Structure 1
């Protein structure tokens, strides 16, 4: 039986901190996501605990008459506890070396492991929306499609939607937001 996961990057937000909220544009985008999912069957919505992710998922949950589940494993990956002027280069390096870990941060492998644990716990036949953040989204997609990398992360939009279909040991990944 096929498991279907819709990976949603949160809508436009006021910043990066966990408590920042969606911008006015982001609130409108969340409404567009509701329209986008109108004819798509969904049985669960699980979001990052960050405010912007929860605010992205709430309107869809309301329309689908579902409860928003919050899972800390969908929180954004912390690159480091230090601020780097060259953070973009450092981030790219973590896509090239999945074991690379900066002070106070999390390696790509560690982030992939925790988000894949969420996916592994989903039942066969489920159709789940995961609302998360760009870096974690990219790493999750990369875990199913090794061609996906830093360059693809750079092209992600707010919001963005990928679908992963998993059947037995096979998986298929497709960006579906760009077609909307």
Structure 2
């Protein structure tokens, strides 16, 4: 019995310091969210779950309305915590830090999560979804790093190079047999 997971990376969101959980979507992001609804509305999705962050929820809100489904929120699908409030990472430091985190999964910036910690918390949720909704089709509203780390758990080919080529938004259709990832198809076309 196959379970299908649709990993939906959130649409474009305006970066504003200090409102990581509440920032919404840009105008382009809102238009792309409508396109996501069009792409996924006929897939036969049974369940929609999401990170608690507004941009992930808003990306799937139209689909939820179209399918008359509630969006189930899972705190542990939240964006990875890159650093503590006392340590502000500059744009110039960001990508080198991400690279170091993928080179050393246990490395974390002060007050932040390592790849290992982020992957462990999000994969627990994904495994529970795969068990509870076995044989169903589930859309997951997520973030680039978290999505990559969840996919990486099942296939090590999903790493930094994969993360760097993903878009906002993006959609990956994952076919599972029990807890084995058998196939991944990119559905988002630019």
Q: TM-score range by the shorter chain?
A: over 0.9
Aligned to 2:186: 176
Per-residue CA deviation, residues 2-41 of structure 1 (Å, 9 max, x unaligned), is 2211111001111262111111111111110011012201
Runs of 4+ aligned residues of structure 1 deviating over 3 Å after TM superposition are none
What are the ranges of 5 or more consecutive residues in structure 1 without an aligned counterpart? Answer: none
Q: Is the 8 A contact 1:144 1:172 kept in 2?
A: no
CA–CA distance in structure 2, aligned partners of residues 176 and 47 of structure 1: 19
Aligned to 2:116: 109
Deviation of 1:170 (Å): 2.5
Deviation of 1:169 (Å): 4.6
CA–CA distance in structure 2, aligned partners of residues 97 and 165 of structure 1: 29
What are the ranges of 5 or more consecutive residues in structure 2 without an aligned counterpart? Answer: none
TM-score by length of 2: 0.89
The correspondence of residues 1-180 of structure 1 with structure 2, limited to 5 A, is: 1-15=1-15, 17-81=20-84, 82-85=87-90, 86-122=93-129, 123=132, 124-179=134-189
Q: How many residues align?
A: 180
Q: Is the 8 A contact 1:145 1:173 kept in 2?
A: no
Per-residue CA deviation, residues 100-123 of structure 1 (Å, 9 max, x unaligned), is 122111111111111111111122
Q: Is the 8 A contact 1:20 1:52 kept in 2?
A: yes
